[in-house]
Amino acid sequence: MMLMVVVVFGFGRAEGYRTVVIVHGIFDGPKQFRTLSRFITEAHPGTEVVVLDMYDNVSSLHPLWQQVGGFSGALTSIMSRSPAGVHLLCFSQGGLICRALLHTLPHHNVHSFISLSSPQAGQYGDTRYLRWLFPEHLKRNIFNICYNPFGQKVSICDYWNDPHHRERYIASSSFLALINAERHHALVQGWKENFLRIRKLVLIGGPDDDVITPWQSSHFGFYDDQENIVDMRKQDYYKEDGFGLKTLDGHGGIELCQRSGVKHTAWHSNYSVFTSCIEPWLT
Ligand SMILES: *[C@@H]1O[C@H](CO)[C@@H](O)[C@H](O)[C@H]1NC(C)=O
Ligand SMILES: *[C@@H]1O[C@H](CO)[C@@H](O)[C@H](O)[C@H]1NC(C)=O
């Protein structure tokens, strides 16, 4: 037994560090991840870091399932030449694309999934992105645009989660309600099994983010219908283990990393966030 452990460890080191695949957020692209890529290669020399270059800038508004299709091809080809597995590091909206990839790719070999300030439980807040898209609308009215088949063709609507229109959300969300198993579908069990292939889910976020609303959505918490925060472990999708969160947590597979003083677009270039919340999971 002892010998096996040593052999596996030695083999892993001889092969070097696992490739890190980065998926960007809304309105950005590879350019915004140069600092993070440098942090990684300085900490772990020789690491291959790939920032996927697709759906950049305004193209990041394309429907999320369409983007998942594109990213899926790129990730699959990297994984197939990385038999020791890869790590997936995904920022903001990219964290939702990555989660959908983990649910829908049956043979993926992702070890750590690092979700960097990503609205995993949805978004309900006025942001400059939203005002740019829908200048005439208040957040309480956005559900009228988002919760219909046309609205669902804009990425932001795919994870718009209005706590005051829960039934409309569950019936109309063609993305988040499915990956969070809030609306039942035929593939739920398979998606859960695929997701549980990961070893570690690292959820990073904090109260000074100013974009992800509520910020606890980065830790799978969300508003109830009174806009009080319900934490991840008290959410129905956790308690019912709809997509594997509770099982993963039971294995010690979830790390919550909360940091104050970090604005949304500063997460990926903050060195103390990197050393404390990211680097430990990139081995
Ligand atoms: C996205 O915007 C950046 C400028 O911030 C630009 O350098 C880059 O070429 C753009 N990417 C695409 C694919 O248009
Ligand atoms: C970097 O992160 C630390 C928390 O780890 C925070 O106190 C600090 O304000 C952040 N700096 C910037 C520029 O975001």
144 domain-assigned:
no
133 domain-assigned:
no
148 domain-assigned:
no
Active site residues: 92, 209, 264
Which residue is closest in CA terms to ligand 2's atom 1? Answer: 270
134 domain-assigned:
no
**Among the atoms of ligand 1, which is closest to the Cα of residue 29?**
1
- Is the pLDDT confidence value at 6 over 60? no
118 domain-assigned:
yes
How much is the pTM?
A: 0.93
Phi and psi at 146, nearest 5°, equal -75, -40
d(CA 167, CA 170): 5
CATH number of the domain to which 19 belongs: 3.40.50.1820
Task: Tell me the two tokens of residue 172.
Answer: 């109309």
54 CB near ligand 1 (under 6 Å): no
Nearest ligand, CA 60: 1
d(CA 195, CA 179): 10
pLDDT tens for each residue of 115-130: 999 999 999 997 777 7
Interval 241-266 mean pLDDT: 98
Domain range for 245: 5-128+184-281
221 domain-assigned:
yes
Interval 6-13 mean pLDDT: 35
Total structural domains within the chain: 1
What dihedral angle (degrees, nearest 10) is formed by the CA atoms of 102, 103, 105, 107?
A: 80
59 CB near ligand 1 (under 6 Å): no
66 CB near ligand 1 (under 6 Å): no
171 domain-assigned:
no
Which one-letter amino acid corresponds to residue 61?
L
pLDDT tens for each residue of 38-67: 999 999 999 999 999 999 999 999 999 999
